[in-house]
């Protein structure tokens, strides 16, 4: 197959996986690098920040994928209702200066009779995995396919889906995938609400209630020097102020989502239902003596 046409300085959209594979291979053969921002569409400012950071990399062509992955939606979840706005998303990618868009069909990315999927390991059954069985297997399977199709040098993900980010980093390391995974801090509204494609489901009243998630994280992080128990108690008290918000879990873990340390960097994670909408959020916490001598995250930024 001849290499599909690629035009510099404009958005080039490809649907068949073999087309974007050929273009990516051709770009890398002449010394260019490729950065991928995987998305499920319904682009918001969180996605735009990932694209902006990807564009800062030197000698790099930025690619974005738009694919609503059915494998990561469980029974009774919002796959059919998930917002789809391809034309608006492509316009947003073009405005952001993205040069490659990959918009595969479902049949391009998975076969209903496929016998092989990825096992996320024990972490895949905890936190989000305990509430959404099979979610992380479906997510990792499609992310691995995207990385295999595009073969990017870099792939950008937001920290809002922190467990997803940790599992993707593990997958890339364990399977020797030659892509550097870069996680970026959660982008928030002015009132602290984490940007999410699912925020469009919230009524104005629910939108006000949802802010309690980030408020609880901030309150918990503020008492980090007093230890893990104090962090969780402060976060619980803050969440209790909005009893209409139904909390699925509130947990404090290590940065690798193992047990939280006594002193040092940790992660506070929350998931809750606001009306019929399920939201997740998380924040970094410094525990104990580490509050006085914080250390940087070597994986943060670029």
For β-strands 60-66 and 33-39, DSSP reports them as parallel
| Measured distance CA(39)–CA(98) in Å, rounded | 13
Is 245 labeled as ligand-binding? no
Is 234 labeled as ligand-binding? no
Is 40 labeled as ligand-binding? yes
| Measured distance CA(282)–CA(301) in Å, rounded | 17
Is 158 labeled as ligand-binding? yes
Q: E strands, 162-244, where?
A: 180-184
Reply yes or no on whether 47 is catalytic: yes
Contacts of 260 by beta carbon, 8 Å cutoff, 6+ apart: 228, 252, 253, 254, 266, 267, 287
19, 47, 222, 293: the active-site residue: 47
Identify any residues that bridge with 188 across adjacent strands, giving them in sequence order.
194
Is 222 labeled as ligand-binding? no
Nearest to 82 by CA among 200, 2, 187: 200
Q: Angle between the 17-29 and 135-150 helix axes, to the nearest 10 degrees?
A: 50
Is 198 labeled as ligand-binding? yes
How many Cβ atoms from other residues are within 10 Å of residue 165's Cβ? Answer: 20
Is 85 labeled as ligand-binding? no
Identify any residues that bridge with 137 across adjacent strands, giving them in sequence order.
none
In contact, 155 and 33? CB cutoff 8 Å: no
Is 43 labeled as ligand-binding? yes
Residue length of the chain: 302
Is 301 labeled as ligand-binding? no
Q: How far is CA 49 from the centre of its chain?
A: 12
Tokens describing residue 263 = 């002193």
Is 183 labeled as ligand-binding? no
Is 129 labeled as ligand-binding? no
Tokens describing residue 124 = 């895949």
Is 256 labeled as ligand-binding? no
Is 196 labeled as ligand-binding? yes
Is 161 labeled as ligand-binding? yes
Point out the annotated binding site: 40-47, 72, 158-161, 164, 187, 195-198
Point out the annotated binding site for (R)-pantoate: 72, 164
Point out the annotated binding site for beta-alanine: 72
Point out the annotated binding site for ATP: 40-47, 158-161, 187, 195-198
The residues assigned a catalytic role are 47
């Amino acid at each position: 197959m001849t290499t599909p046409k690629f035009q510099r300085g404009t958005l080039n959209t490809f649907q068949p996986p073999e087309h974007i594979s050929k273009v990516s291979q051709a770009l890398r053969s002449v010394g260019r690098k490729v950065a991928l921002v995987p998305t499920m569409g319904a682009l918001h400012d969180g996605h735009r920040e990932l694209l902006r950071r990807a564009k800062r990399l030197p000698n790099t062509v930025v690619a974005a994928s738009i694919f609503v992955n059915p494998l990561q939606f469980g029974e009774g979840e919002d796959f059919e209702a998930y917002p789809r706005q391809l034309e608006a998303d492509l316009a947003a990618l073009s405005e952001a200066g993205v040069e490659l868009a990959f918009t595969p069909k479902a049949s391009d990315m998975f076969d209903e009779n496929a016998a092989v999927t990825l096992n996320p390991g024990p972490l895949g059954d905890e936190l989000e995995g305990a509430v959404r069985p099979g979610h992380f297997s479906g997510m990792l399977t499609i992310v691995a396919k995207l990385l295999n199709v595009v073969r990017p040098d870099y792939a950008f993900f937001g920290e809002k889906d922190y467990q997803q980010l940790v599992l993707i980093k593990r997958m890339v390391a364990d399977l020797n995938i030659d892509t550097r995974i870069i996680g970026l801090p959660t982008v928030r509204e002015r009132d602290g609400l984490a940007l999410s494609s699912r925020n469009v489901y919230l009524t104005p009243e629910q939108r006000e209630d949802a802010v309690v998630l980030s408020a609880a994280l901030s309150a918990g992080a503020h008492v980090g020097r007093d230890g893990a128990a104090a962090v969780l108690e402060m976060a619980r008290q803050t969440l209790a102020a909005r009893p209409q918000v139904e909390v699925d879990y509130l947990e404090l873990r290590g940065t690798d989502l193992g047990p939280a340390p006594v002193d040092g960097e940790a992660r506070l994670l929350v998931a809750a239902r606001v009306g019929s909408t399920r939201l997740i959020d998380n924040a970094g916490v410094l525990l104990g003596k580490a509050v006085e001598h914080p250390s940087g995250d070597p994986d943060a930024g670029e």
